[in-house]
Chains A and B, each alone.
Chain A
Amino acid sequence: MSDSRDAAVAAEPDGSEGDGTRPSGADRNDATGSDAEDGNATGAAGDGERNRNATDPAATRSAEPSTEGNHRREVATDRWLGIAGAALALVGLGVLVRQPSLVLAGAVGVGYAVYARTGEAPTPTLAVTRSVSDEAPAPGDEVRVTVRAENAGETALPDLRLVDGVPPGLAVVDGPARVATALRPGAAVTFEYTVRAARGDHEWEPLTAITRDVAGARERTTTLDAPTAIACTPELAAGGDLPLRGLTTVHHGRVPTDVGGAGVEFHATREYRRGDPLKRIDWNRRARTGELSTVELREERAATVVLLVDARESAYVAADPDAETAVEASVAAAGQAFSALLDGGDRVGIAALSPLDCWLPPGSGTVHAARGRETLATDPALAPTPSGERFYRSLWLRRFRRRLPGDAQVLFFTPLVDDTAATLARRIDAHGHLVTVLSPDPTTTETAGRRLTAFERRQRLRTLRSAGIRALEWGDDSFPVAVAAATRRWSR
């Protein structure tokens, strides 16, 4: 907890304003005494905190400003439903059989029915703070989260349940992210839990507070916002040497081309031209035939590569509901490819096949490397959970093509679980950008439907390969291992 920092607490804006705008109401309540004030507070509860604070005396006991609550719903829990009926039936039975004891027992039931009808679920006026032990953890680190809620209101909360809004991309590894307690005015409750950090920008959702009256007959749900976020940016490790295809730029690099020039690998011989360097003259041929000729070597150039990560909702799949999704696997692999290609002198860009826009133009250098790492880690389009927005394929393709440099090739990371990904790969390829499909395998073979899906995916891979698109899949083995195996298979 060394780096502990309090999350920003939304200050209650209505307190002073309420006092200013409704002085007469406050005066009237003060004049009529505390009973009337209580009644007014309960009556105004449905309108949320604004009115409650307006009727509060100006001097608040708590120094901490209360967190603004967002009233969600108030319901009758039906906990005591039917108790009046049971009491009536008991009384009726007592009358029928002329047994006073039964009538008396029924009267007890009436008491419960009255008890259930008294009271109102209080509106919680809580000051909530949330702090995390580390705001920028590494993936896999455990982050301790401490939530403190203080009853900053005037009324006691006889039954309060707080459920924290843990980000959907994070799993709690220790302790429940909730607490149930009763809080008198001024009292506070603190609970702690631990989450395991995973790649991405994780923002906490509002804390949910559920309050009930003493009998538990009415229940009120309120959400309290205490913004907290952690950003988890994995280090990029170069993973193997990625074999690129022959489409390159004019810059020197490491991708062998079919262009003769300076390099290391033999390409062709041609007639000697004045000015050719002496060491490139084919002296053997000169000795044999007396002609001067020059050896051309395969020129190695740099490529422009765009890493395209499939992050549509359909790509958030995994072999097991609790396992890492295919998007995670794709992003991790894209990170390895990114640093490997940058190290090789290629210009690398990043794009996401996602309803949200994500585009890092191809570039090189250390600043670009940092930007790429940031994009892969925290771009909303590559978030650990789907955004839920609609994806328009043709719109996306039009925009992508407009941005894609003419000499760029595409490394397309997709689980290939639907036809759209395969179609897009072929369309991009047809537009003259060489495409390599790199596919994490999320399929399993447990049930009939899963097996059918696995067959279909395998068929898609075959169709892509027969269309001249390089495709590589990796499942349990790591991405670099799969790349190494595929490199042996592919001839350049």
Chain B
Amino acid sequence: MVAVAVGLLAALDRGIAAAVSPTSAVVTLLGVLGVVQGVRYANARRDRRRLLTEPGEPERRAPAAVPGSALDERIARAADPAPGGYRDRRDLRDRAREIAVDAVARDRNCSREAAATAVGDGTWTDDPAAAAFFGRRAEYPLRVRLSAGIRGRSNYWYGLRAAIDEIERIEEGEP
């Protein structure tokens, strides 16, 4: 703006034009100004995405939801090794616990209370990771903690996987 104003004034009044004589210093200054401003303007392109209308894909049929995909997203959030997501983790664990208790009660032909106790103290399974997932005191085995550390996943994720595998084993063991 300043440059434009000075330019206009210089055009109108010869005196000012004479004061801003095209010495090498002034020309250099103008050049630097041009480069800096130009790069600034051009930089605006960098973090802007082109606004194009996305017509979508009308040729495809509206995709159907796959049962459990929303749950998968929740699991991914809950199993994130970053801190937080405590509530997600607890909800998911409760949900899996219900299924495990039902499966154990059916498998051992015992009451739900007895099954809940078995799931709670880890005696429902031989898999230490699955036991630790629902267990109040049990610790994840060293093998799980090591691979979780190396692969950057949480113990929770391994525990959940082991618990689901264990439930499946019980379900399929049924006649």
A85→B55 contact, CB < 8 A: no
- Chain B residues 37 to 62 lying within 8 A of chain A, measured CB to CB, are 37-45, 48-53, 55-56, 58-62
Q: In this assembly, does A321 line the interface, its C-beta being within 8 Å of a C-beta of chain B?
A: yes
- Chain B residues 107 to 131 lying within 8 A of chain A, measured CB to CB, are none
Q: Quick one: given A93-B31, A93-B34, A459-B99, are A171 and B164 in contact (CB under 8 Å)? A: no
Chain A residue at minimum C-beta to C-beta distance from B65:
A317
A86→B38 contact, CB < 8 A: yes
Chain B residue at minimum C-beta to C-beta distance from A97:
B31
B67→A443 contact, CB < 8 A: yes
Which segment, of A59-67, A157-165, A224-232, A361-369, faces chain B? A157-165
Residues on B with C-beta less than 8 A from A442 are 66-67
A459→B102 contact, CB < 8 A: yes
A451→B66 contact, CB < 8 A: no
B38→A171 contact, CB < 8 A: no
Q: In this assembly, does B64 line the interface, its C-beta being within 8 Å of a C-beta of chain A?
A: yes
Q: Which residue among A163, A178, A324 has the maximum number of chain B CB atoms within 10 Å of its CB? A: A163
- Please report the C-alpha to C-alpha distance between residue A325 and residue B171 in the assembled complex, in whole angstroms: 26
Q: Quick one: given A85-B38, A92-B35, A449-B75, are A219 and B53 in contact (CB under 8 Å)? A: yes
The 0/1 profile, CB within 8 Å of B marked 1, for residues 451-465 of chain A is 111111111001000
Q: In this assembly, does B83 line the interface, its C-beta being within 8 Å of a C-beta of chain A?
A: no
Chain B contact residues, majority secondary structure: helix
Chain A contact residues, majority secondary structure: mixed
Q: What is the total of A-B residue contacts with beta carbons within 8 Å? A: 193
Q: In this assembly, does A88 line the interface, its C-beta being within 8 Å of a C-beta of chain B?
A: yes
Residues on A with C-beta less than 8 A from B52 are 77, 219
Chain A residue at minimum C-beta to C-beta distance from B46:
A82
Q: Quick one: given A75-B51, A317-B65, are A451 and B168 in contact (CB under 8 Å)? A: yes
A322→B63 contact, CB < 8 A: yes
Q: Which residue among B34, B39, B73 has the maximum number of chain A CB atoms within 10 Å of its CB? A: B34
A318→B66 contact, CB < 8 A: yes
B61→A322 contact, CB < 8 A: yes
Chain B residue at minimum C-beta to C-beta distance from A444:
B66
Q: In this assembly, does B95 line the interface, its C-beta being within 8 Å of a C-beta of chain A?
A: yes
Residues on B with C-beta less than 8 A from A95 are 27-28, 30-31, 34
A451→B34 contact, CB < 8 A: no
- Please report the C-alpha to C-alpha distance between residue A219 and residue B69 in the assembled complex, in whole angstroms: 37
- Please pick, from A94, A163, A169, A455, the residue contacting B99 in the complex, using a CB distance under 8 A: A455
Q: In this assembly, does A96 line the interface, its C-beta being within 8 Å of a C-beta of chain B?
A: yes
A92→B38 contact, CB < 8 A: yes
A451→B42 contact, CB < 8 A: no
Q: Quick one: given A210-B53, A450-B68, are A92 and B33 in contact (CB under 8 Å)? A: yes
Q: In this assembly, does B32 line the interface, its C-beta being within 8 Å of a C-beta of chain A?
A: yes
- Please pick, from A86, A96, A164, A451, the residue contacting B31 in the complex, using a CB distance under 8 A: A96
A96→B38 contact, CB < 8 A: no
The 0/1 profile, CB within 8 Å of B marked 1, for residues 162-176 of chain A is 011110111110001
Residues on A with C-beta less than 8 A from B74 are 449
- Please report the C-alpha to C-alpha distance between residue A165 and residue B168 in the assembled complex, in whole angstroms: 44
Q: In this assembly, does A415 line the interface, its C-beta being within 8 Å of a C-beta of chain B?
A: yes
Chain B residue at minimum C-beta to C-beta distance from A172:
B59
B59→A93 contact, CB < 8 A: no
Give 8 nearest A-B pairs by CB, closest first.
A92-B34, A85-B41, A89-B38, A96-B31, A449-B71, A450-B68, A449-B72, A82-B45
26 A–B contacts from the bound complex (CB under 8 Å): A77-B52, A82-B43, A82-B45, A85-B37, A85-B41, A88-B41, A89-B39, A91-B38, A92-B30, A92-B31, A95-B30, A163-B55, A168-B61, A169-B61, A208-B55, A219-B51, A317-B65, A324-B64, A417-B67, A445-B168, A449-B71, A449-B75, A450-B66, A453-B67, A453-B68, A462-B102
User: Other CB < 8 Å A-B pairs besides A85-B42, A317-B64, A449-B74, 17 of them?
Assistant: A79-B50, A81-B45, A86-B41, A87-B38, A88-B37, A90-B38, A92-B33, A96-B32, A177-B58, A193-B59, A316-B64, A321-B64, A442-B66, A442-B67, A447-B68, A449-B71, A450-B68
